[in-house]
């Protein structure tokens, strides 16, 4: 990872060559739909990595042929920490994988892996 400065903003360049702003507040929020029961499907994204910048959860998503960086709402910070700490410590590679995100009415945000990881 490398840190560079451009137009008075600091960026990190990750392993995919993606420029990620060091100020998490300028990273766009991921669109997460509200669902009203467990049968409804949330938004499904192909997630390639997850991390934390300035105590904010972020993910790298691939759509078609492009990668994008998105900030998750703070309610998913625990999920990102689990991906980083719990799985990595056990040598489990969870990304890339398809992940369903949603806001289940009355319960809060969720993130579910849709496929088995290595």
- Residue 39 falls within a domain, yes or no? yes
Task: Give backbone dihedrals phi and psi of 25, rounded to 5 degrees, phi first.
Answer: -70, -15
* 32-75 pLDDT tens trace: 999 887 788 899 999 988 989 889 999 999 888 788 899 999 99
Nearest-angstrom CA–CA distance, 38 and 61: 24
Query: Cα dist. 41→19, 20, 35, 70 in Å?
Result: 31, 29, 7, 20
Q: What is the number of domains present in the chain? A: 1
pTM for this predicted structure: 0.79
Q: Is 89 inside a domain boundary?
A: yes
Q: Judging by DSSP bridges, how do beta strands 2-6 and 9-13 pair with one another?
A: antiparallel
Pairing of strands 34-35, 97-104: parallel
pLDDT mean across residues, the chain:
82
Full residue range of the structural domain in which residue 52 is found: 24-113
Cα–Cα dist 65/112, whole Å: 23
Angle at 41 between CA 104 and CA 27, to 5 degrees: 70
Q: Using one digit for the tens of pLDDT, what is the confidence trace for 83-105?
A: 888 777 777 778 888 999 999 88
Confirm whether 97 is domain-assigned: yes
Whether 5 maps to a domain, the answer reads no
């Amino acid at each position: 990872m490398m840190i560079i400065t451009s137009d008075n903003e600091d960026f990190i360049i990750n392993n995919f060559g993606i420029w990620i702003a060091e100020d998490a507040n300028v990273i766009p929020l991921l669109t997460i739909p509200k669902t009203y029961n467990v049968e409804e499907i949330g938004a499904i994204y192909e997630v390639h990595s997850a991390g934390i910048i300035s105590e904010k959860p972020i993910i790298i998503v691939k759509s078609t042929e492009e990668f994008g960086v998105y900030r998750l709402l703070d309610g998913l910070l625990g999920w990102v920490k689990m991906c980083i700490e719990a799985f990595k410590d056990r040598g489990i590679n969870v990304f890339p994988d398809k992940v369903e995100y949603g806001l289940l009415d009355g319960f809060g945000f969720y993130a579910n892996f849709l496929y088995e990881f290595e």
